Amino acid sequence: MIEVSGLSKHYGSKRAVDDISFTVQPGKVTGFLGPNGAGKSTTMRMILGLERPTAGQALVDGKKYSQLSSPLTSVGALLEARAVHPRRSGINHLRALARTHGIPNSRVDEVIDITGLSSAAKKKVSGYSLGMGQRLGIATAILGDPSTVILDEPVNGLDPEGVIWVRQMARYLASQGKTVFLSSHLMSEMSQTADHLIVIGQGKVLADQPLQDFLNQTGDDQVLVRTDDPDGFAEALRRDQVGVNKQDDGALVVSADGRDVAQRAQSQGVLLWEITPQQASLEQVYMSMTSDSVEYRSSDPNAGLGSGAANSTAGAESTGGHSGGGAHTAAQPEATPTGQGENYQPSHSTEQAPWNQEEK
Amino acid sequence: MSTVADTNSPRGADTARSASSKYKLSFFGALRSESLKFRTLVSSWVLMIVTAVIMIGFAALSAFQAKDYADQMHEAMTGGKKIPEYYLQLGDPSEFARQAVDSGYVFGYIILGAMAVVFIASEFGTKSVISTLTASPRRGMVYVAKTVQITVVAAIVAIVSGVLAWAVTQWVLSTSDMDITFKLFEEQTLMNILGLIVVFVLTAWMGVGLGAIIRNNAGAIVILVVLLFILPLLLMPFQWEWVRDFQNYIPSALAANLTNPVEPMKDPKYVESGVWYAVWSLVPLILGYFSFTQRDPK
């Protein structure tokens, strides 16, 4: 178990981490979400004793990391996949770390096999691809079969098969009663892996709750309904002051709970042949929550692409209420519990949007 | 990626768990880790071999000069031939021949010091220090383990290169018309090699300390070279008496005393030279300890 209490880290006047407290429980995967510069890596480094806190403390199994008698078997960490001497082979890197605790070479061979690095283990790390480096980092993290695993952006650079493998491993470790704490900027990844979320922005904890509660906090109930007469039913709902949006495919997203919508349809004599409760996507809730906490804001990528490109986005921006040029990325997909219109995603999708497949 | 992971069974926990509690972090473990790290870099072996080759090469050249001097002396005594003027200041040929063993120390100790710098500073340059300190979060333990490792290496390089330099020297000197060879196991030779060990070990400590303080290979090596090589040149123009006195206590002068087979007639002699050279080494080594343990790695 990881216990963080009153943890702060200041660099001069900048508060990278500002008095945060949370507990990472064993037996579940706890996701650590936040925009770039939010303080995720700094927090993880402080837990591992690589940064001295300005205030507060971080304990692993009730002790400071440096006071653990067997750090490698207590905590396995992947902080920077390339934290390896490039002129040393992967197997020798692992053996050197194993030597500190007297872990035998057979265990090193085992984690190399587990992480699929057998064919590259004897090559110098300088020749590794990003994905191979990431696998070596994960091999380092599980070397001591630790009771707590801390992974900072573990799926960065991994191919889809590797992403699935990391997801399965995180779930498996948690199922074995281990504490699994991982950060990722791939929110769809979090939605498939984490049981619990800690959201951090500008050094402060913005949310610390189960994933489901996090997703349910968008306010009004919404349902997606399909009917043979969407226009007529939508008009009837509007007359009753019920929020409704028609999708491109004819479906209606109605701001009411399912029973209420069904009753209204029945009273109107309208046949509904689909009623699906809607949930905001993790991306939407996250972006809504952290929109004021992003440290690095991007300008509109279309702004410099000429008038044609700018014109093509003007309509979309006007419906979303954003002004052209200078719109920051966090605000772009902002959650709008009512009236999301065409931007609305019915639930947290298993598909990754192109923008969140990129490396941070 | 061509590598294939076993996605169906994300093990990683099963086999080692039952035995995990018996694995503890220890100083001996940290030392074994540092030893393996040192041995698994090609650059370590290259620098050690270069140091030994330079020491042996200079010993052979110096021995050849001593042989030539002795031969000229022999011819002067037996055939009345005149000795070249530049040889007249060299004194007894057999004593001069003894200087061959450590004659390459100037290059040897700089290379060895640079190797010590790289051993610690490259951890910061490559960020591998993050892996190191995650496995061994007791930073003082890691620093001491690194220092012990480099101490052992420096001592071994000094012994091996000193003994091989002696052997090559004897082979060259044995071809002389005069008997100017000398034994390994006699006090003066052993003291000469001991001096080399002291110089190499203390220089390695200096390198470890500078590497830990500067955390950059190039920067720390430049400072090392200034201390060991450039400092006498910087002081040369100044003729104040205190500067001339100080010149006897800078690292290059102290190392010259310690590697001299004949103990200097005036201060600093062997012991005093060793103490002052230790001061030059321990100051950066101790400052490096505080830097390594107190400054967080980036």
Buried-state track A184-206, b at ≥16 Cβ within 10 A, e below 16 = bbbbbbbbbbbbbbbbbbbbbbb
Q: Which of A177-186, A282-291, B90-99, B129-138 has the lowest mean pLDDT?
A: A282-291
| Beta carbons of A103 and B42 less than 8 Å apart | no
Inform me whether the pLDDT recorded for A54 exceeds 60: yes
Inform me whether the pLDDT recorded for A108 exceeds 50: yes
Pick A101's closest partner by Cβ from B5, B15, B29.
B29
pLDDT digits (tens, 9 = 90+) for A149-180: 999 988 887 888 888 888 888 999 999 999 99
Inform me whether the pLDDT recorded for B153 exceeds 70: yes
Inform me whether the pLDDT recorded for A313 exceeds 90: no
Angle, CA of B129, B132 and B135, to the nearest 5°: 150
Residues contacting B243, CB < 8 A, separation 6+: B235
- Chain B hits for A52, CB-CB cut-off 8 Å, are 296
Q: Which of A39-43, B205-209, B223-227 has the lowest mean pLDDT?
A: A39-43
Cβ–Cβ < 8 Å for B33, A96: yes
> What is the C-alpha separation between A232 and A228, in angstroms, rounded?
9
- Chain B hits for A70, CB-CB cut-off 8 Å, are 20-21, 23-25
Angle, CA of A161, A163 and A169, to the nearest 5°: 105
H-type alpha helices, A143-229: 160-175, 187-193, 211-215
Terminal C-alpha separation, chain A: 28
> What's the pLDDT score for residue A347?
33
- Chain A hits for B128, CB-CB cut-off 8 Å, are 83-85, 88, 93
Cβ–Cβ < 8 Å for A103, B24: no
> What is the greatest pairwise CA distance in chain B?
92
Band (pLDDT 50/70/90 cuts) for residue A353 is very low
* Helix, coil or strand: residue B246: helix
| Owner of token pair 């750090």 | A71
B5 to chain A, closest Cα gap in Å = 4
Interface confidence: ipTM more than 0.85: yes
Pick A114's closest partner by Cβ from B12, B30, B37.
B12
The radius of gyration computed from the CA coordinates of chain A, to the nearest angstrom, equals 24
- Chain A hits for B129, CB-CB cut-off 8 Å, are 83
Residue type, A240: D
Helix count (H) and strand count (E) of chain A?
12, 13
Q: Could you tell me if B36 lies within 8 Å of chain A, comparing CB atoms?
A: yes
Q: Could you tell me if B298 lies within 8 Å of chain A, comparing CB atoms?
A: no
| C-alpha distances in Å from residue A254, one per residue of A250, A345, B119 | 13, 14, 66
Cβ–Cβ < 8 Å for A75, B109: no
- What architecture does CATH give domain A223-277? 2-Layer Sandwich (3.30)
Closest CA to A33 of A182, A220, A174, A250: A182
Q: Which fold has domain A2-216?
A: Rossmann fold (3.40.50)
Segments of chain A assigned to CATH 3.30.70:
223-277
pLDDT digits (tens, 9 = 90+) for A253-289: 888 888 889 999 998 889 999 998 876 666 667 777 7
| Beta carbons of B21 and A73 less than 8 Å apart | yes
Top-confidence residue, B143 or A215: B143
Which of A17, A78, A85, A100 should one mutate to test binding to chain B, selecting the residue with the greatest count of B CBs within 10 A? Answer: A100
Cβ–Cβ < 8 Å for B261, B188: yes
Cβ–Cβ < 8 Å for B13, B131: no
Closest CA to B197 of B240, B154, B143: B154
Terminal C-alpha separation, chain B: 30
Inform me whether the pLDDT recorded for A318 exceeds 70: no
Pick A92's closest partner by Cβ from B16, B36, B127.
B36
Q: How many CA atoms lie less than 13 Å away from B234 in the CB half-sphere?
A: 10
> What's the pLDDT score for residue B13?
43
Segments of chain A assigned to CATH 3.40.50.300:
2-216
B27 to chain A, closest Cα gap in Å = 8
> What is the C-alpha separation between A173 and B116, in angstroms, rounded?
41
| C-alpha distances in Å from residue A175, one per residue of A77, A329, B19, B159, B253 | 18, 36, 20, 56, 66
Top-confidence residue, B22 or A181: A181
Cβ–Cβ < 8 Å for A97, A140: yes
> What is the C-alpha separation between A290 and A282, in angstroms, rounded?
12
Top-confidence residue, A188 or A112: A112
- Chain A hits for B2, CB-CB cut-off 8 Å, are 119
Buried-state track B173-209, b at ≥16 Cβ within 10 A, e below 16 = beebebebbbeeeeeebebbbbbbbbbbbbbbbbbbb
| Beta carbons of B15 and A129 less than 8 Å apart | no
Cβ–Cβ < 8 Å for A136, A90: yes
Pick B130's closest partner by Cβ from A79, A103, A110.
A79
Q: Could you tell me if A89 lies within 8 Å of chain B, comparing CB atoms?
A: yes
Inform me whether the pLDDT recorded for B93 exceeds 80: yes
> Is the backbone peptide bond immediately before B237 cis, with ω within 30 degrees of 0?
no
Inform me whether the pLDDT recorded for A331 exceeds 60: no
